[in-house]
Chain A
Amino acid sequence: MLYARLILMRLLKAVVVLFMIVIFNFFLIQMAPGDPAAILAGEAGATDQEFLRQLRERFGLDQPLYVQLWRYVSGIAMLDFGYSYRQQMPVLDLILARLPATLLLTGTAFVLSLALGIVAGSMAAARVKKPSGSLIMALALIFYATPLFWVALMAVVLFSVYLDWLPAYGMYTVGAGLDGFALILDVAKHLVLPATTLALFFMAIYTRMTRASMLEASQQDYVKTARAKGLSPRVIQRRHILRNALLPIITLAGLQAGQMVGGAILTETVFAWPGIGRLMYEALMQRDYNLLLGIFFFSAALVIVFNIITDLVYRLADPRIKEGS
């Protein structure tokens, strides 16, 4: 009951945010240099004056601004994101076709980075001022400072070109006609490099955060209480310090989800992963603004979904919110 209400409220909030993004998008189109009709049609295809005139009429660009805004918003409310003249397909179809690949990539990277980050961070927290702890933190700092796309490229050079261990491009082996388990294995192989490179940066963030959060938690009074009970350091670390330290990490993970969708644009571009990030790059290259803004809208929606999930998890983890009255 409580959860149903929470989800309802969060969805309501999400709708408001998405609505604002739609309005934002509308004004971005207005802001862009050149004729909005030309922009909607895609720059290069906009030389034919008659075509442009038809377009203007069709999109109501001869109407006052507020009428246009209303049309734009109500269109999107009906899931009409416009048409990509470059790809000759409705924007929505294009995006929906690419969405699963992105979900697979970001989902894998998210789980991977969170799990490894928490493990590495707690190891570093338990080894403060020891060389092994410093080494973990130095590595985390380096990963944090490395450009994502560059790591991806270097991974291609090393693991694909020189060592030839893993495929560097695409999601399947083209023309192999695999199915069943063989297909899953094939996709998994293709997933290794993009997911790992995408996860590295975020793993670095979670590692640093976990360590800081655990060091903070270990200063708390209840840890002294636990020691006074005669509990072993292992139990104290796991049951008292880690559990409390994880709360802020859940919040952070929700915030970072948005960055991960952004990071996917770079990894998908490098690895030719057929997701919406790669699609965004294509739209960018072709100045296909309709598609670009559609993807932008969807990436924001994805972030909101991630945020709602982390919110729910947080409430599960913290009794003070769950049973608070």
Chain B
Amino acid sequence: MSFFARFAQNRGALIGLIILMTIILMAILAPFLYPDSPWRMVQRPFLSPMEVDGFLLGTDTMGRDVAAGIMHGAWVSLLIGLVSTTVALAIGVPLGAIAGYYGGLIDDGLMRFTEFFQTIPNFALAIVLVAIMQPSVTSIVLAIAIVSWPPVARLVRAEFMSLRHREYVEAARLVGQTNRTIILRQILPNTLSPIIVLASLMVATAILLESALSFLGLGDPNVMSWGYMIGAARTVIRQAWWLSFFPGFAILLTVLALNLVGEGLDDALNPKLSRERS
């Protein structure tokens, strides 16, 4: 069975993929559909959804178009999610690979380091980092990457530890392959599926983290993000609930879609169910 056929067997994953495609499309189309800055005040404030034509989701406390904010926010969420996950992988994969492959003191040292980062409460650390570095897309990406690499390192280490003593790896050592070749050609390719699955879930978590930071006022002041929109509308929740509702719902859909896709990838890449039957 082909990869996609296995993926498509999971109906949830297919739905997730469709939602995700839609959000990506939103992010791409935002500059064309709403060429103006989403920060521009375009109407009177507190328009409720569909009250005035052309303002599908109404306007916020300052008269900015909520729909425009949501379209532009999609771009920011996806960008930060992807980039911070990439950075986290770039930290976690090599650390985990080295710790798992070499073991011994190197492993002990690296794992103490990883444990330290795991002990610190993620979100509090992210807040402190962004607050000290001053909010910007870069600082947010860095902070999210710094709090989210430990699970990657642990996963990769565990995979490497179990594969390191697999007979084909020992055979590779015996025929005289170098450690570098063994790590890159023998072991790493066989750890890719769990890493890919984890990465898709990490993008989801990163988006949640970013929205929470923006909600607390730690978003990049130059970009419109969903978390910021909710945070800004918090004080008027009694008068205008929709200002918080729509961006939050957008986050929910995006994160849900990524999780569904992650589960589908897991099914497609690690066919556990077929093993269960035998």
Contacts and interface: CB of A to CB of B under 8 A. Distances in A.
A200 B13 CA distance: 23
24 contacts: A20-B116, A141-B259, A141-B260, A144-B259, A147-B208, A147-B252, A149-B212, A149-B230, A153-B237, A153-B248, A156-B237, A157-B241, A161-B237, A161-B238, A255-B118, A266-B215, A284-B127, A284-B217, A284-B218, A289-B131, A295-B124, A300-B120, A300-B121, A307-B119
Given A153-B230, A270-B234, 12 more contacts: A31-B133, A141-B256, A146-B255, A147-B211, A150-B244, A150-B248, A154-B248, A157-B238, A258-B118, A266-B216, A280-B127, A284-B216
Contacts of A149: 212, 215, 230
A263 B126 CA distance: 12
Contacts of B244: 150, 153-154, 157
Interface residues of A, number: 49
B212 A299 contact: no
A259 B238 contact: no
B134 interface: yes
Contacts of B129: 28
A307 B116 CA distance: 13
Contacts of A145: 204, 208, 252, 255-256, 259
Interface string A154-170: 10110001000000000
B220 to A, nearest CB: 16
B5 interface: no
Given A145-B252, A150-B251, A284-B131, A262 B237 contact: no
Given A31-B132, A144-B259, A157 B119 contact: no
Shortest Cβ-Cβ A-B pairs, 10 listed: A262-B123, A150-B248, A145-B255, A145-B256, A258-B121, A262-B121, A32-B132, A261-B121, A157-B241, A299-B124
A292 B204 CA distance: 27
A139 to B, nearest CB: 12
A258 B132 contact: no
B168 interface: no
**Chain B contact surface mostly:** helix
B245 interface: yes
Contacts of B118: 255, 258
Interface string B127-152: 11101111000000000000000000
A297 B188 CA distance: 37
A207 interface: no
A298 B255 CA distance: 30
Interface of A: 17, 20-21, 28-29, 31-33, 141-142, 144-150, 153-154, 156-157, 161, 219, 255, 258-259, 261-263, 265-266, 269-270, 280-281, 284-285, 287, 289, 292-293, 295-296, 299-300, 302-304, 307
A219 B220 CA distance: 49
Interface of B: 116, 118-125, 127-129, 131-134, 204, 208, 211-212, 215-218, 227, 230, 234, 237-238, 241, 244-245, 248, 251-252, 255-256, 259-260, 276
**Chain A contact surface mostly:** helix
A311 B127 CA distance: 28
Given A32-B132, A281-B216, A299-B121, A154 B259 contact: no
Contact of A142 (B128, B212, B256): B256
Nearest to B241: A157
Most interface-central of B116, B127, B211, B217 (chain A CB within 10 A): B127
Contact of B132 (A28, A147, A259): A28
Nearest to A295: B124
B262 to A, nearest CB: 11
B121 A303 contact: yes
B6 to A, nearest CB: 18
A154 B243 CA distance: 11
Contacts of B216: 265-266, 269, 281, 284
A57 to B, nearest CB: 24
A263 B133 CA distance: 22
Nearest to A39: B132
Nearest to A287: B131
A159 B128 CA distance: 33
A37 to B, nearest CB: 15
Contacts of A284: 127, 131, 216-218
Most interface-central of A21, A262, A265 (chain B CB within 10 A): A262
B276 A262 contact: no
B245 A154 contact: yes
A219 B276 contact: yes
Given A145-B255, A255-B118, A292 B248 contact: no
Contact of B124 (A20, A154, A262, A270): A262
Contact of B120 (A141, A153, A219, A303): A303
A321 to B, nearest CB: 19
B259 A148 contact: no
Contacts of B241: 154, 157, 161
Contact of B230 (A150, A261, A262): A150
Nearest to B207: A147
A150 B252 contact: yes
B237 A147 contact: no
Contact of B128 (A20, A33, A147, A296): A296
B248 A262 contact: no
